[in-house]
Amino acid sequence: MAARAARKLFIGNLPWTVSNRELKTYFSEFGHVVLASVVFDRNTGLSRGYGFIVFSTQGGYDGVANRQNHVLEGSNLVIQAASN
């Protein structure tokens, strides 16, 4: 479990229109994504503007971390190591 947590990233500033599938598609460029999850508000069903991704290998995680800018649907994404 600790290894999986080490490959988990917080993705912030997501556009409201981004789905789990779109998030996974974007980050699959860097490696095999085992989890891509946009967080939605339980009451409204709307995106809360952030999500998480988990890579199957450290290489995918490192590829994302080493790239300076990530833009999805015109939004500059905020990417940080996820805390559990």
Could you give the CA distance from residue 10 to residue 82 in angstroms, rounded to a whole number?
A: 5
**Confidence class for position 68, pLDDT limits 50, 70, 90:** confident
Residue 4 confidence (pLDDT): 57
Average pLDDT over residues 68-79: 95
2-81: CATH homologous superfamily?
Answer: RRM (RNA recognition motif) domain (3.30.70.330)
The string of pLDDT tens digits covering residues 13-49 is 999 999 999 999 999 999 999 999 999 999 999 999 9
Tokens 């995106």 found at: 47
**Residue pointed to by tokens 């917080």:** 10
Please tell me the pTM assigned to this model.
0.88
Confidence band of 50 (pLDDT split at 50, 70, 90): very high
